Amino acid sequence: MAQMYKIRTKNKDVFLRVAKGHFATSHSHTNYFIDVTTQKTRLSEAKAVAKELVSSYRSNTIVDTILCVDGTEVIGACVADELTKEDFVNMNAHQTIYVVSPEYLAGGQLMFRDNLTPMIAGKHVLILAASVTTGKTAQAAIDAVKYYGGLVVGVSAIFATVEQCEGYPVSSIFNPNDLGDYESYNSHHCPLCEKGEKIEALVNSYGYSKL
């Protein structure tokens, strides 16, 4: 595996752990692997990430439900905690924030069981992802929220390459400018493949599998 290094911020618990190389996701090839494992699993880092993310929503966005994809439930709980510390506006009867995760169907579609749909229908839903690069996962989440009658208020991620997805704002801590030479390629037209550079690992938001 390529050597990992950290892109740091002023907060020691907010950083981006990356490796440069040739990696394949389910939707594209990229020259960086972005590892957010510890942010999703270590409480101190999840809390720090949450504090950074809520600045985009604290004063002007109603949030009733946080929809966690990519295994971001720990961060989602920390975001909910941050948003409920102040007199934060939400519209559900319990005056709290729901933190939910979807089930995944074949083809990448998302679904919710009947006991979870009341936490989506009619609620202001913030979608939380580890990263938004091609936007496929975020699009599926947006489609699911709308299908179940929810109101999407935004998409939030640790790393994102886009500022909007399906017309909804995407807020992130890090973006390609933090990497300088980040590139994402169509898997069928990848210049790294055309140069004969072998794929080092299959990667997604959960980690990597070395080839």
What's the average model confidence in pLDDT over 161-182?
92
Q: Name 157's Cβ contacts closer than 8 Å, sequence gap at least 6.
A: 128, 129, 130, 131, 132, 138, 170, 171, 172, 173
The answer to whether the CB of 74 falls within 8 A of the CB of 82 is no
User: Which pLDDT tens digit goes with each residue over 129-157?
Assistant: 999 988 889 999 999 999 999 999 999 99
Question: Over the chain, what is the mean pLDDT?
Answer: 90
Q: Which two tokens stand for residue 198?
A: 């072998």
Number of residues that make up the chain: 211
State how far the Cα of 84 lies from the Cα of 146, in Å rounded to an integer.
24
User: Which pLDDT tens digit goes with each residue over 40-77?
Assistant: 999 999 999 999 999 888 767 889 999 999 999 999 99
Q: Name 36's Cβ contacts closer than 8 Å, sequence gap at least 6.
A: 16, 17, 130, 131, 158, 159, 205
Q: pTM surpassing 0.85?
A: yes
Q: Dihedrals φ, ψ of 175, to 5°?
A: -145, 175
Domain boundaries, the chain: 4-210
Cross-strand partners of 204: 207
3-state secondary structure of 56: helix
Q: Which CATH number fits domain 4-210: 3.40.120.10, 3.40.50.720, 3.40.390.30, 3.40.50.2020?
A: 3.40.50.2020
